[in-house]
């Protein structure tokens, strides 16, 4: 059911016709005062107009059961952005946001359904278009970074990176030529790059079939190169001396085959 049909199928209880948010118009959010946006991480009106059409129509609004939502989606997104932007704990959300348990459940639900990934991909496409590039990337760069883990992180999911002398986790990022994220893998810090990077080429090929070239440093040489050559029909080669200014020593590139 489209959003317009769903909106026409129920009677609005909105306090004013100027409010265009579903929880205000058809849910229980109209019973409470609207939040005054005062943080730099809050959605601007232009950002909200981009995100609003992408939000799914709630099940209760489509007659599929469930209780009408009592918190505005825009306020929920403001709360999630506040946590991400400021790095605070969920329990330390400011009091002008909904209860942190509700916000966390909202973020988790949207993450499981793939909505957050979809929003990220759409925004990345807009940035690429603004920079004069095509929506589908043709080249990518993979690298890793070891970061310290919080004290409450389970020990079996973290480790010690002896090379960088960091205890915690390691994130492997595949980015396009603008530095925009295409794929991410998170492992314990003691996992070698060549072991952790094996699933990345396959995931990259599945999500972005247009990628024809992947560059990485020498830490990814060995198993990922052979695996990509056998499973994805790619050819690999060391970086030439002419690329020494842009490629680290011992780097390799993986070119997609036919």
Q: List pLDDT tens digits, range 50-84.
A: 888 877 777 766 777 667 777 888 888 999 999 99
The phi and psi torsions of 257 (rounded to 5 degrees) equal -90, -160
Q: Report how far residue 128's alpha carbon sits from residue 110's, in angstroms, rounded to the nearest whole number.
A: 24
- What pTM was estimated for this model as a whole? 0.65
DSSP state of 59: G
Contact status, residue 124 vs residue 181, Cβ threshold 8 Å = yes
| Contact by Cβ (8 Å): 82, 39 | yes
Half-sphere exposure of 75 (CA within 13 A, CB side): 26
pLDDT at 170 exceeding the cut of 80: yes
CA nearest 84: which of 122, 56, 120, 60?
120
Whole-angstrom distance, CA of residue 17 vs CA of residue 49: 16
> Scanning the structure block, which residue is given the tokens 């109209």?
30
Higher pLDDT, 1 or 72: 72
User: What pLDDT is recorded for position 28?
Assistant: 55
């Amino acid at each position: 059911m489209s959003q317009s049909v769903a909106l026409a199928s129920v009677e609005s209880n909105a306090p004013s016709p100027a409010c265009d948010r579903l929880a205000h118009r058809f849910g229980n959010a109209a019973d409470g005062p609207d939040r005054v946006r005062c943080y730099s991480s809050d959605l601007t009106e232009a950002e909200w107009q981009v995100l609003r059409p992408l939000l799914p129509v709630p099940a209760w609004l489509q007659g599929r059961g469930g209780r009408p939502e009592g918190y505005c989606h825009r306020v929920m997104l403001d709360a999630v952005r506040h946590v991400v932007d400021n790095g605070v704990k969920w329990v330390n959300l400011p009091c002008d946001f909904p209860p942190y348990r509700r916000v966390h459940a909202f973020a988790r639900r949207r993450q499981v359904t793939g909505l957050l990934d979809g929003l990220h991909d759409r925004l990345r496409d807009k940035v690429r278009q603004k920079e004069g590039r095509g929506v589908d990337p043709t080249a990518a760069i993979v690298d890793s970074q070891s970061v310290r883990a919080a004290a409450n992180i389970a020990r079996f999911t973290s480790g010690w990176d002896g090379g960088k002398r960091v205890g915690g986790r390691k994130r492997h990022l595949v980015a396009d030529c603008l530095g925009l994220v295409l794929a991410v893998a998170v492992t314990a810090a003691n996992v070698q790059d060549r072991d952790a990077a094996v699933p990345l080429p396959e995931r990259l090929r599945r999500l972005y079939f247009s990628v024809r070239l992947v560059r990485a440093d020498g830490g990814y040489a060995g198993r990922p190169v052979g695996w990509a050559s056998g499973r994805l029909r790619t050819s690999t080669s060391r970086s030439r001396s002419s690329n020494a200014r842009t490629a680290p020593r011992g780097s390799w590139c993986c070119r997609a085959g036919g």
